[in-house]
Amino acid sequence: MCGIIGYTGNDNSVPKLIEGLKALEYRGYDSAGVAVFSDGGITVVKAKGRISNVESKIKSEYDSLFSLCGIGHTRWATHGEPSDINSHPHGTQNLRLVHNGIIENYIQLKKELIEAGYTFESETDTEIASKLIDLNYISTGDPFLAIKLSLEKLQGSYALGILFKDFPGKIFATRKDSPLIVAVSENGNYIASDIPAVLKYTNKYYQLEQGEIAVIEKDKVTVYDIGHNIVEKKLLVADWDIDAAEKGGYDHFMIKEINEEPAAIVKTIRPRIENGLPCLGLPELSDDKLRSFKRINIVACGTAMHAGLIGRTAIERLARIPVNVDIASEFRYKNPILDKDDLVIIISQSGETADTLAALRLSKELGAYTLAIVNVAGSSIAREADSTLYTWAGPEIAVASTKAYTVQICVMYLLAIKLALCNNKITEENAKESLRVLLEQAPEAAEMALKLNDECRRISDKYKSAHDLFFIGRGIDYDIALEASLKLKEISYIHSEAYAAGELKHGTISLITDGTPVIAICTEDALYDKMISNIKEVKARGAKVVIICKKGAVGAEEVADDVFYVPELPGIYMPIPTMTVLQLIAYHTSVLLGCDVDKPRNLAKSVTVE
């Protein structure tokens, strides 16, 4: 989703803005632009398409553009198609502004601004915000007051970076429900949507809170609350280094990140085992508190929600506590039934997903206890939840989530073991053994799965021309199928669906015709024979079947066109190596089809609008 960068300092801001925008590319965008102070005014360069189009325009129109202060933006279209005109920055002779989020009352505001004499060239809600600030600036002559008065009228979500012509060298910034950090370095200061955009220069930053207004100068950052009182901010240090946000010799971020899974599992799990037993490191979430929950709700979007499905299976099987899993965008509008006996687990890689954040806030309002599982430190979800368990996967840059999913499910296993122990559903010995599997065998199995890379590419090559592809499974294999299908379709654009194998006869089997590929995930021992029956049914209707199973699966080779053996782990842990393999198959399919693996069309990494 939209990305914001800004710099003021001793260096030319233009290359820094371009680099920052490139580092934000992964969030997804369809146009880009920059605004910098120059020649006593503000110069704006923006273009539809790739950031390189902005670079070319700068070269051809300005020869060499030099400025010590500027802002930049990658736009993911919401209001108005991707175009030069709709790209940010927007504004007037007085100011230029970049925006991430959605102004919900833009129609009403536009009407008022037209009455005040403004005209509009773009279809964006952002231009309206810029002109509202302009109106208030003209009447007050004070940037702070202009922003403050405008915030009182703006409804929706926003992170804003603003340059006022009369205040060269200063960037004004504010946010509500969209992420924005202020990063500091010896050579100047930055605003950015997230840390990877500035990691090349600094890992020190302030987190802007809702409604705070920051004034960023080359050697000073001042943050005010809405009453114009200075706020003392805590300087945070990101423990990510620049290598983590670069490809490091791999062709794509996605394959790099899949390869990081074994290490990410160890990094996430090892610190949470003490004397062989699970230790969440959350003093506020005592064993008594954990025992008090009658129900568990897991709420998330996309891949994170699929990690929640694995979590549900693990918690229900190990701890015997009933678990609901909801898509955040559904949950927030369904008038959910929650009270103090409910634990709501919120899963999010970015910690900024708009629907997931709204679901968290709603759950708190309704009196439930909220536990977030988040990858990005200091993100909104991490800060607002009652407790937060971080997944320490490092930055995930590819739009398609891979290593974040793997560590999310590992944290869910850890939690399931902890809940089971607290509720006397397993013994300490069982818990120790399960944690040993998680810490030692799981990374090894993921490592072995990575060695199947060539075999995965062969399967991808064989089925890459498919029009439709189905994934089927039962039990935890159905949870895996849902994620495998999402991974394949989002980056290869092959239409794919996942079905509970027992459901095929209730409709879907009519879609199976001669040659339709079906990937059957068969790692559940207790359900294996049932799966074979379902596989035979699709085979009888012409399907080409790939079975993904454990070594020694009886009869697999007789019924399938291809059999793919995944490294073995005890029962509920099989999703770890199985998903690594299925991620590799999705990856190679995308590469073989010539798709933009890391930045699939229409998608954004951090979905900060609902």
Just list the catalytic residues: 2, 605
Give the nearest distance from C-beta 319 to ligand F6R in angstroms.
24
Look at residue 35 and give its three-state secondary structure: strand
* Residue 47 or 345 with smaller CB distance to ligand F6R: 345
Give the nearest distance from C-beta 195 to ligand F6R in angstroms.
14
Share in percent of the chain as helix, strand, coil (round to 5): 40, 25, 35
Give the nearest distance from C-beta 96 to ligand F6R in angstroms.
29
Answer for the pair 2, 30: CB distance below 8 angstroms, yes or no.
no
Residue that has been written with the tokens 């969030």 in this structure: 27
Give the separation between CA 470 and CA 97, rounded to whole angstroms: 46
Give the nearest distance from C-beta 252 to ligand F6R in angstroms.
14
Helix (H) or strand (E) holding 113: helix 106-115
Look at residue 282 and give its three-state secondary structure: coil
Give the nearest distance from C-beta 303 to ligand F6R in angstroms.
3
Give the nearest distance from C-beta 177 to ligand F6R in angstroms.
14
Give the nearest distance from C-beta 389 to ligand F6R in angstroms.
14
Question: What is the chain's alpha carbon radius of gyration, rounded to the nearest angstrom?
Answer: 25
Half-sphere exposure of 314 (CA within 13 A, CB side): 28
| Burial track 38-72 (b if 16+ CB lie within 10 A, e otherwise) | beeebbbbbbbebbebbbebbeeeeeebebbbbbb
- Cα 258 versus chain centre, distance: 16
* Residue 442 or 607 with smaller CB distance to ligand F6R: 607
Helix (H) or strand (E) holding 94: none
- Whether the ω angle into residue 278 lies within 30 degrees of 0, i.e. cis, is no
Give the separation between CA 528 and CA 535, rounded to whole angstroms: 10
* Residue 198 or 374 with smaller CB distance to ligand F6R: 374
* Residue 42 or 305 with smaller CB distance to ligand F6R: 305
Give the separation between CA 604 and CA 590, rounded to whole angstroms: 17
Tokens of 464: 């890459």
Give the separation between CA 352 and CA 384, rounded to whole angstroms: 11
Which residues contact residue 10 at a Cβ distance below 8 angstroms, ignoring those fewer than 6 apart? 68, 187, 188, 218
Which residues contact residue 283 at a Cβ distance below 8 angstroms, ignoring those fewer than 6 apart? none
* Residue 92 or 303 with smaller CB distance to ligand F6R: 303
Look at residue 321 and give its three-state secondary structure: coil
* Residue 143 or 351 with smaller CB distance to ligand F6R: 351
Question: Which positions touch ligand F6R (CB under 6 A)?
Answer: 301-304, 348-350, 353, 356, 400-401, 486, 490, 607
CA dihedral 353, 356, 357, 359 (to 10 degrees): 160
* Residue 465 or 602 with smaller CB distance to ligand F6R: 602
* Residue 120 or 240 with smaller CB distance to ligand F6R: 240
Answer for the pair 466, 517: CB distance below 8 angstroms, yes or no.
yes
Residue number, nearest CB to ligand F6R: 302
Give the nearest distance from C-beta 55 to ligand F6R in angstroms.
28
Question: Which burial class, exposed, middle or buried, applies to 427 when counting CB atoms under 10 A from its CB (0-12, 13-18, 19+)?
Answer: exposed
* Residue 340 or 601 with smaller CB distance to ligand F6R: 601
Tokens of 115: 């009455």
Angle in degrees, CA 241, 377, 97, rounded to 5: 85
- Cα 148 versus chain centre, distance: 30
Give the nearest distance from C-beta 118 to ligand F6R in angstroms.
36
* Residue 163 or 244 with smaller CB distance to ligand F6R: 244
Give the nearest distance from C-beta 54 to ligand F6R in angstroms.
26
Which residues contact residue 551 at a Cβ distance below 8 angstroms, ignoring those fewer than 6 apart? 565, 568
Length of the chain, please?
Answer: 610
Give the separation between CA 480 and CA 475, rounded to whole angstroms: 9
Give the separation between CA 181 and CA 396, rounded to whole angstroms: 18
